[in-house]
Amino acid sequence: MTVTTSTASIEIVDNPDRDRYEARIDGELVGFADYQLTPKLVVFTHTEVVPACEGKGVGSALAQFAMDDIRAAGQREVLPVCPFIKAWIGRHRDYIPLVFGARPLTAKD
């Protein structure tokens, strides 16, 4: 998947051989979100973006791609141990149902 922000086009892929989602700009690795798989969970342990790309949407693009990928597969829930992924989900409440142990949303808009 390629995400275009105001500053760059970010290519994001799942790299299961390295247990992480990766973000690249012009072929260069600029960020990743590490995970561990269990039969029922994707445990996000760490997210990192190179300093030159911080604040440019790389981390958010990684988080959204990962959540959409997990949702589409429909096989596992998310356990966000990583503070960045946890905070991102908190700001994007429509992904809360993916979180292991989360109570169903009751607010109606």
In a domain, 76, yes or no: yes
Query: pTM for the full model?
Result: 0.87
Query: Tell me, what CATH number does 9's domain have?
Result: 3.40.630.30
In a domain, 45, yes or no: yes
Question: What would the two tokens of residue 53 be?
Answer: 């790309």
In a domain, 67, yes or no: yes
In a domain, 11, yes or no: yes
Query: CB–CB of 20/29 below 8 Å?
Result: no
Interatomic CA distance for residues 95 and 32, integer angstroms: 19
For the chain, how many structural domains are there in total? 1
Radius of gyration of the chain (CA): 14
- Which domain covers residue 55, as residue numbers? 2-98
In a domain, 12, yes or no: yes
Instruction: Give the distance, in angstroms, between the CA of residue 27 and the centroid of all CA atoms in the same chain.
Output: 19
pLDDT digits (tens, 9 = 90+) for 45-91: 999 999 999 999 999 999 999 999 999 999 999 999 999 999 999 99
In a domain, 108, yes or no: no
